[in-house]
A = this chain, B = another copy of it.
């Protein structure tokens, strides 16, 4: 876990309480929260961050590459402080949204599309299914 203040400084951004809290929250969560979930969770105890600032800050952090936007569900924009290449699993039943290590799909071979797409910048595998918990409880089968 890198100090959020350090990361912000490295990008030439002022370290404000709001930015610090938003980046730290994203670093610490296993989840991929939406802007609205961030507003709610950050202000749960001590309200100090407006909705506008959450949106502004997320855009700023995205622009400098400290977070990425993840958009694999209709109308839902999620944020991810894991900026290393990795993949995702999405549960059809509960919406659970997990990271999958890059290593897991090392086997993925790009040579079949290299001629058609010589300028690839990023690859991501989306795995959809039912998570262990939802399968155990049998909801939504």
* A71: Cβ under 8 A from any B Cβ: yes
Smallest CB separation, A59 vs chain B (Å): 11
Given the known interface contacts A104-B112, A105-B112, A109-B107, the answer about A127 and B123 at a Cβ–Cβ threshold of 8 Å is: yes
Residues on the B chain within 8 Å of A3, using CB:
none
Q: A104 near B113 (CB under 8 angstroms)? A: yes
Q: B92 near A118 (CB under 8 angstroms)? A: no
Residues on the B chain within 8 Å of A126, using CB:
123-126
Q: Mark A104-141, 1 if CB is under 8 A from B, else 0.
A: 11011110110011111111111111111001000000
Say which residue of B74, B119, B132 sits within 8 Å of A135 (CB atoms).
B119
Q: A69 near B74 (CB under 8 angstroms)? A: yes
Smallest CB separation, A37 vs chain B (Å): 16
Report the Cα distance A116→B104, complex, angstroms. 11
Q: A128 near B132 (CB under 8 angstroms)? A: no
* A73: Cβ under 8 A from any B Cβ: yes
Report the Cα distance A108→B109, complex, angstroms. 8
Given the known interface contacts A71-B73, A77-B75, A127-B113, the answer about A92 and B121 at a Cβ–Cβ threshold of 8 Å is: yes
Q: A129 near B125 (CB under 8 angstroms)? A: no
Smallest CB separation, A109 vs chain B (Å): 4
